[in-house]
Amino acid sequence: KLSVFWFRRDLRLEDNTGLYYALQQETDVLPLFIFDRTILDDLEDKTDARVSFIHDQIQNLKEELEKKGSTLLVKYGTPEEVYQELIKKFEIQAIYTNRDYEPYAKKRDRAIEKLAEEKGISFLTFKDQVIFEPGEILNGSGEFYKVFTPFSRVWLSKFEETNIEALSYFHWKNLYQTKPEPLISLKEMGFERSSISIPSSNPNEEIIKYYDKTRNFPAENGTSRLGIHLRFGTISIRQLALKAASLNETYLNELIWREFYMMILDYNPQVVDKAFKPAYDQIPWRNNEEEFKAWCEGKTGYPIVDAGMRELNQTGYMHNRVRMIVASFLTKHLLIDWRWGEAYFAKKLLDFDLAANNGGWQWAAGTGTDAQPYFRVFNPSSQTEKFDKDLKYIKKWIPEFGTEKYPKPIVDHKFARQRALDTYKKALDR
Ligand code: FAD
């Protein structure tokens, strides 16, 4: 008899809640990772950097577990197929795993739980990727918060009251001892290695310490770049939040935004394709394909927008300030559906996270949880003046800036701003 520990968005051995509890039991624990075909088959880009990143992490985990006399069993297929096969091969007592709040993940887990129950196997899940999960921070009437500020206040006071600790002393002796099998290659799954480099998972304390002062300037190295590591759990949120609490409140506040959007998505799975505020689905988006293409390629003639899109296309990253500007530009200046922009980001961002991306896009489009109404239309020039005054960021990403080769603005700012306000007003007055 053995138990399975199933890794998903928690690709680390350190401070991993589900793994910790699995190892506390008497039964041997077989660690498992599934390269899920349902997800991989949908990826168009076969050099997707996130797949290479995951593959590297899996290789590391496998090696670390092999040093402990065990292995990481790595399968390629759909989770249901894989579990059907494992149930035939092993006498499984329980499946341990950490909870995930995305709609696809919840559906997948319900299916595996059902399959397990039919065979008398327990399916045990744990909170691991957040400090407080959906349902833990509620208002006085027991409802979820629709705006961020009161949510963050309650989050913070609960954080102060709760004894949050990183888990240590894992019972490694309870790992299932077995001979390793070779790891499936990227090629065997139809992928190739990406040349995009991934930032370190080691939090840079200096950056976090001065975060409130530097975070808005895209030319500076002033944010932590931990997004991808939070996404795939190559860093523990407990360790990071404890560090943040001792170093910089503003940084901790960003980690609260992350949990706020996860909660919003968990309670409102419809936001995946609908506006959080339903009335905003009446906006008649212009959806001009040529303009969308110019935006994607960083050729709108608005330097701060173009610099951001080129940073994204070349590195899989875009600075948060610039994400807000390009998203506002697409939805307001060009009146292109936020879902188009969201989908483009989902393909390109290394740190892509459904909840944060959807939340960010709906915030920019004015359709989301923002307490402010839709009238905020970022002015690309004044944003540049404030946050990239000496044009360092712009020049870095647009070598032809200031030459004849650089395109003329695809739309006039004043005209576009008024058109956005009129269109939104008309749609919402209906
Ligand atoms: P830091 O500034 O160092 O922040 C630390 C961490 O806090 C981030 O890694 C992230 O996990 C979290 N965080 C920070 N800001 C936010 C926020 N506004 N909402 C939720 N979490 C936040 N973030 C993603 O993680 N994935 C996305 O797909 C994503 N899409 C976005 C789309 C738009 C249109 C906008 C405006 C924002 C989006 N964000 C997204 C939020 C934010 O831009 C990124 O988290 C941040 O830029 C990542 O860089 P960093 O790791 O250096 O973050």
Would you say residue 142 has pLDDT above 90?
yes
pLDDT (0 to 100) of residue 311: 98
Closest C-alpha residue for ligand 1 atom 45: 227
**Does any domain span residue 181?**
no
Are 247 and 392 in the same domain?
Answer: no
Are 146 and 288 in the same domain?
Answer: no
Are 124 and 137 in the same domain?
Answer: no
Domain boundary among 69, 101, 128: 128
Would you say residue 401 has pLDDT above 80?
yes
pLDDT (0 to 100) of residue 370: 78
**Does any domain span residue 51?**
yes
* Beta-carbon-side half-sphere exposure of residue 305 (alpha carbons within 13 Å): 34
Would you say residue 266 has pLDDT above 80?
yes
Are 136 and 119 in the same domain?
Answer: no
Mean pLDDT of 49-53: 97
**Which amino acids bring their CB within 6 angstroms of ligand 1?**
215, 223-227, 230, 254-255, 257-258, 261, 320, 323-324, 327, 345, 349, 351-353, 356-357, 359-361, 364
Q: By percentage, how much of the chain surpasses pLDDT 90?
A: 97
pLDDT (0 to 100) of residue 116: 97
> Using the 8-state DSSP alphabet, how is residue 375 labeled?
T
Which distant-in-sequence residues (6+ apart) come within 8 Å of 88 by Cβ?
A: none
Task: Using the atom order of ligand 1, give the atom closest to the CA of residue 319.
Answer: 47
Q: What is the largest CA-CA distance in the chain?
A: 71
Domain around 251? 130-168+203-267
- 263/198 Cα distance (integer angstroms): 27
Are 406 and 306 in the same domain?
Answer: yes
Are 421 and 278 in the same domain?
Answer: yes
From the list 155, 338, 340, 363, the catalytic residue is: 338
Radius of gyration of the chain (CA): 23
pLDDT (0 to 100) of residue 395: 98
Would you say residue 19 has pLDDT above 90?
yes
State the distance from the centre of ligand 1 to the C-alpha of 168, rounded, in angstroms. 29
**Does any domain span residue 358?**
yes
Would you say residue 251 has pLDDT above 80?
yes
Are 87 and 152 in the same domain?
Answer: no
Closest CA to 265 of 170, 357, 137: 357
pLDDT (0 to 100) of residue 234: 98
Domain boundary among 128, 149, 177: 128
Q: By percentage, how much of the chain surpasses pLDDT 70?
A: 100
Binding residues for FAD are: 211, 251, 254-261, 351-353
**pLDDT category of residue 255 using cuts at 50, 70 and 90:** very high
State the distance from the centre of ligand 1 to the C-alpha of 105, rounded, in angstroms. 21
- 380/302 Cα distance (integer angstroms): 7
Closest C-alpha residue for ligand 1 atom 43: 320
Are 77 and 145 in the same domain?
Answer: no
Would you say residue 340 has pLDDT above 80?
yes
State the distance from the centre of ligand 1 to the C-alpha of 112, rounded, in angstroms. 31
pLDDT (0 to 100) of residue 376: 86
- 90/93 Cα distance (integer angstroms): 9
Closest C-alpha residue for ligand 1 atom 31: 357
Mean pLDDT of 393-406: 97
pLDDT (0 to 100) of residue 129: 97
pLDDT (0 to 100) of residue 374: 77
**pLDDT category of residue 59 using cuts at 50, 70 and 90:** very high
| Structural domains of the chain, count | 3
Specify whether 155 is catalytic.
no
Give the burial class of 113: count Cβ atoms within 10 A of its Cβ; 0-12 exposed, 13-18 middle, 19 or more buried: middle
Are 31 and 99 in the same domain?
Answer: yes
Mean pLDDT of 154-169: 95
Mean pLDDT rounded to a whole number for the chain: 97
Are 372 and 299 in the same domain?
Answer: yes
207, 237, 258: which to mutate for ligand 1, most atoms within 8 A of CB?
258
Q: What is the CATH number of the domain that holds 420?
A: 1.10.579.10
ipTM above 0.90, yes or no: yes
Residue-wise pLDDT tens digits, 201-224: 999 999 999 999 999 999 999 999
Residue-wise pLDDT tens digits, 366-389: 999 977 777 889 999 999 999 999
Specify whether 6 is catalytic.
no
**Does any domain span residue 154?**
yes
Least trusted range by pLDDT, from 101-115, 126-140, 287-301, 366-380? 366-380
